[in-house]
Chain A
Amino acid sequence: MLMENNPERVSELDRHLVEFAQLLRSVGLKISPSEISDAAQGLTILGMADKNKVEAVLQATLVKDARYIPSFQEAFRAYFASKEQKEVWQKETAEKASQWQGQLEQARQDLRFQGNELEITEEQRAVYASLPENDKQRIKDFLDKSAQGTKSGIPVDHTYQPMVERVLRGSLEYWRKRLNEDDPILSPGSTDALLSEVERALREREADVLSRDLKKISPEEWPEVTRLIRRLSQRLATQVTRRYRADHRRGGVEMRATLRKNLRYGGVLVERSYRSRRRARLKIVLLCDISGSMLKYTEFIWQFIYGLSEVVKGIKTFAFGEALIPLSGQLKKEQTFEEMVKETLKISGKEWGGGTNFANALLTLQQAFPAALAKQTLLIIVSDGQTLEGEKAAALLEQIRRHVHEVLWLNTLPKRRWQETPFVQAFLPSCQMYECYTLSHLTQILKQQF
């Protein structure tokens, strides 16, 4: 069997299973050696003559979450494809990789100042390589002109290079956002042909609204997404009311009640009475960022606020940009929630867009609405964390965290961008931050958290 074998005598089956498990791990599945062993045993029991049975055995033993079934199916299709097919993929991947290397090398040659290579990151070079030719030319022209420029009649020298690099970095950062904000622009897929094929197939499957970025969902799909968000909010609401703080189980014997209960037995402690677990209904306070950087997620935020307010009673909602705007106004007769919010925004002179000052918003929340920040409060923040006065905001958030039950931060910025966003790191210790830009993220968060 797999685990008992001498390493030199690893069978062909074991080798394939380990390789296949590696492929699955690279698309996100967690697979332990004991599960590979189960798969080997399963195949021994059911045989390998029937491909469908082999797939079923491997799926049952290696995939433990329904979310990963599509990844498994694609990996199985790719790994057990014919030799000829694998050779074709291998060739395509090698071609793509060499083409990409060529482009990167060209970028290295192009991005020079007076013959010296510029100090920029590999990703920034990749951004340049992905640009259309005329935009590349514009950058090259800028570099050429800068190299030949003069200051007070004296030609510039290499000491001007850091300045040029700064300008170039800014420009490439702009292009990165325009080209694709979320996916890293590095090599076009993996250099491993099988993995590259699985990734390609999975990208195609991503047409599913659940895994698509919420800002890329088309207007026709919104009614469907709205329903999904409402359903998720409903789940959140029922969980919030059902969930109670997991104190020590059974809380220990309550002596006073126990003695009272046992008086009828002459004081012999026949029956015991326990302290019951504390049931605490959480109060939700929702804080939504409506600044310019969040404009793309307007629809998501509307639906989330609306969905949640519809099903959770007594939820307090605030929007914030440069200042805090309470949205939990009273609904007038025959007024929809959306109309109420729009009216509130109009009265407060605020609209979507504009700058963000989270510190300001938190300070107002603390001073003007102290009752909202109680021990039973679950503070949910929906924001991308891009704000002015971030350090002050982080300090305020830390203070608030100490007064409330929990702070949940749904960040519409992908996790890998958190590092480079100023202040997101500062907010992290004071809250549970989750990336949340697809419905599948929201579903996952609710599953983990509630």
Chain B
Amino acid sequence: MNRMTLDQFEDALEEIGYITERDDRIALTAFLATELGKPLLISGPAGVGKTEIAKVLSQVFGAPLIRLQCYEGLDETKALYEWNYQRQLLKIQMSQDKLKEEDLFSSDYLLPRPLLQALVNPEKSVLLVDEIDKTDSEFEAFLFELLGEFQVTIPEMGTIRAQEPPIVVLTSNGERDLSDGLKRRCIFLNVEPPSVNKEVRILRKKVADLPERLALEVARAVHILRGRLSLNKVPSVSETMDWAKALLVMGKNDLDPAWVEATLTLLLKSQDDVDLFYREMGAERLLFEASKLGQEERHAHGKQS
């Protein structure tokens, strides 16, 4: 893999359609992690595009993406390797006399799981350890050797070192605190929901034929919802896209209160949040606040120029 400069990296992101801004520092931090050869730990609320960063890195570097989805109770047999017990048993039955113990504990009988796959892959890969905060602290400690040295130790076989150290991306929703040991080994990136400007760019890139005016109104309204109401679940970028697509399909060029109410459930996915919206804001107020935000943006823009 050829080394890149930061500018080239940013261009590559642009080319594959991933939108970043200077202020979000996503490009710089991801670039830094790859250059330092350190795992990238990404935190932030659900739906801001943490997992997407790993996918994008895989595209930029042309490296396969190997994904480990974490959950409570995940252990090394699901994450690292497991012995192919049935195959070992067959081997024992077939050659009972001539069999040596080391014959049974060779790579032929090893079932590599995502972590080991990423290590033994002869080419560079991107290893995504998604939602690391869902696992327990023992599993986190188990990852230290992999994240620090890019190697794992299998008691029966010895240490396996990465042929080509993978680019490791870990994501966390911050459900629980990660250990200091894990954090120390990583480069850290906190991703916040996108700014209005960035979300407009994302919408226009991902939703074909979306008029700029509608994109702006949608992004501003979602920005207000995220910031002003303490919702149980803030709308994610993909939900904003769904909303914009729905409005486009309905032939809308701008937002009006009736349509906001009709399509609200695309953004707010729990009855509590919907109730909160009607109690504290309502569609008309939302649009009023969104247009006020637009005026403020124009005002700030006018001052700058």
Chain A interface residues toward B at CB < 8 A: 30, 32, 34-35, 38, 41-42, 45-46, 52-53, 56-57, 59-61, 63-66, 69, 224, 227-228, 231, 234-235, 242-243, 246, 249-250, 268-272, 277, 444, 447-448, 450
Check B127 for interface membership: any CB of A closer than 8 A.
no
Contact B41 A64 (CB under 8 A): yes
Check B180 for interface membership: any CB of A closer than 8 A.
yes
Q: Which of A38, A53, A69, A228 contacts B36 (CB 8 A)?
A: A38
Q: What residues of B have a CB within 8 angstroms of the CB of A66 in the complex?
A: 43-44, 174, 190
Excluding A46-B6, A242-B72, 7 further A-B contacts by CB distance (< 8 Å) are A35-B184, A60-B189, A64-B188, A66-B44, A69-B190, A250-B77, A447-B174
Contact sample, A vs B, 26 pairs, CB 8 Å cutoff: A35-B184, A38-B38, A38-B187, A41-B36, A42-B32, A42-B35, A46-B6, A56-B28, A56-B29, A59-B188, A60-B25, A61-B187, A61-B188, A64-B41, A65-B188, A66-B44, A231-B230, A234-B232, A242-B72, A250-B75, A268-B93, A272-B85, A277-B73, A447-B174, A447-B175, A450-B176
Q: What residues of A have a CB within 8 angstroms of the CB of B138 in the complex?
A: 246, 249
- Which 10 A-B residue pairs are closest in the complex by CB-CB distance? A64-B183, A66-B190, A60-B29, A56-B25, A64-B188, A227-B230, A447-B176, A56-B28, A60-B187, A447-B177
Check B136 for interface membership: any CB of A closer than 8 A.
yes
The chain B residue sitting closest to A234, CB to CB, is: B232
Contact B184 A60 (CB under 8 A): no
Contact B187 A45 (CB under 8 A): no
Contact B28 A57 (CB under 8 A): yes
Q: In chain B between 21 and 78, which residues have their CB closer than 8 angstroms to a CB of chain A?
A: 22, 25, 28-29, 32-33, 35-36, 38, 41, 43-44, 72-73, 75, 77
Min distance, Cβ A58 to any Cβ of chain B, angstroms:
11
Contact A60 B188 (CB under 8 A): yes
Expressed in whole angstroms, the Cα–Cα distance for A34 and B41 within the complex equals 16
Check B271 for interface membership: any CB of A closer than 8 A.
no
Contact A30 B187 (CB under 8 A): no
Expressed in whole angstroms, the Cα–Cα distance for A360 and B3 within the complex equals 71
The chain B residue sitting closest to A268, CB to CB, is: B89
Q: What residues of A have a CB within 8 angstroms of the CB of B95 in the complex?
A: none
Expressed in whole angstroms, the Cα–Cα distance for A61 and B31 within the complex equals 13
The chain A residue sitting closest to B30, CB to CB, is: A60
Q: What residues of A have a CB within 8 angstroms of the CB of B304 in the complex?
A: none
The chain B residue sitting closest to A231, CB to CB, is: B232
The chain A residue sitting closest to B73, CB to CB, is: A277
The chain A residue sitting closest to B77, CB to CB, is: A250
Q: In chain B between 158 and 189, which residues have their CB closer than 8 angstroms to a CB of chain A?
A: 174-177, 180, 183-184, 186-189
Q: What residues of B have a CB within 8 angstroms of the CB of A224 in the complex?
A: 230
Contact B32 A60 (CB under 8 A): yes
Expressed in whole angstroms, the Cα–Cα distance for A42 and B186 within the complex equals 13
The chain A residue sitting closest to B89, CB to CB, is: A270
The chain A residue sitting closest to B181, CB to CB, is: A32
Q: Which of A57, A268, A450 contacts B32 (CB 8 A)?
A: A57
Min distance, Cβ A229 to any Cβ of chain B, angstroms:
11
Q: A53-B28, A56-B29 are in contact. Are A249 and B75 (CB under 8 A)?
A: yes
Chain B interface residues toward A at CB < 8 A: 6, 22, 25, 28-29, 32-33, 35-36, 38, 41, 43-44, 72-73, 75, 77, 85-86, 89, 93, 136, 138, 174-177, 180, 183-184, 186-190, 230, 232, 276
Min distance, Cβ A308 to any Cβ of chain B, angstroms:
16
Expressed in whole angstroms, the Cα–Cα distance for A45 and B44 within the complex equals 26
Expressed in whole angstroms, the Cα–Cα distance for A272 and B77 within the complex equals 14
Contact A269 B32 (CB under 8 A): no
Min distance, Cβ B42 to any Cβ of chain A, angstroms:
11
Min distance, Cβ B3 to any Cβ of chain A, angstroms:
10
Q: What residues of B have a CB within 8 angstroms of the CB of A56 in the complex?
A: 25, 28-29
Q: What residues of B have a CB within 8 angstroms of the CB of A234 in the complex?
A: 232
The chain A residue sitting closest to B28, CB to CB, is: A56
Contact A228 B230 (CB under 8 A): yes
Min distance, Cβ A107 to any Cβ of chain B, angstroms:
42
Contact A45 B35 (CB under 8 A): yes
Q: Which of A52, A69, A269, A447 contacts B89 (CB 8 A)?
A: A269
Q: What residues of A have a CB within 8 angstroms of the CB of B41 in the complex?
A: 64
The chain A residue sitting closest to B175, CB to CB, is: A447
Q: What residues of A have a CB within 8 angstroms of the CB of B174 in the complex?
A: 66, 447
Q: What residues of B have a CB within 8 angstroms of the CB of A52 in the complex?
A: 22
Contact B180 A30 (CB under 8 A): yes
The chain B residue sitting closest to A249, CB to CB, is: B75
Expressed in whole angstroms, the Cα–Cα distance for A56 and B35 within the complex equals 15
Contact B177 A448 (CB under 8 A): yes
Contact A46 B28 (CB under 8 A): yes
Q: What residues of A have a CB within 8 angstroms of the CB of B33 in the complex?
A: 60
Expressed in whole angstroms, the Cα–Cα distance for A387 and B6 within the complex equals 62
Q: A242-B72, A269-B89 are in contact. Are A448 and B176 (CB under 8 A)?
A: yes
Q: What residues of B have a CB within 8 angstroms of the CB of A269 in the complex?
A: 89
Contact B188 A63 (CB under 8 A): yes
The chain A residue sitting closest to B139, CB to CB, is: A249
Q: A42-B36, A447-B177 are in contact. Are A246 and B276 (CB under 8 A)?
A: no
Which of A60, A234, A243 has the most chain B CB within a 10 Å cutoff?
A60
Q: What residues of A have a CB within 8 angstroms of the CB of B25 in the complex?
A: 56, 59-60
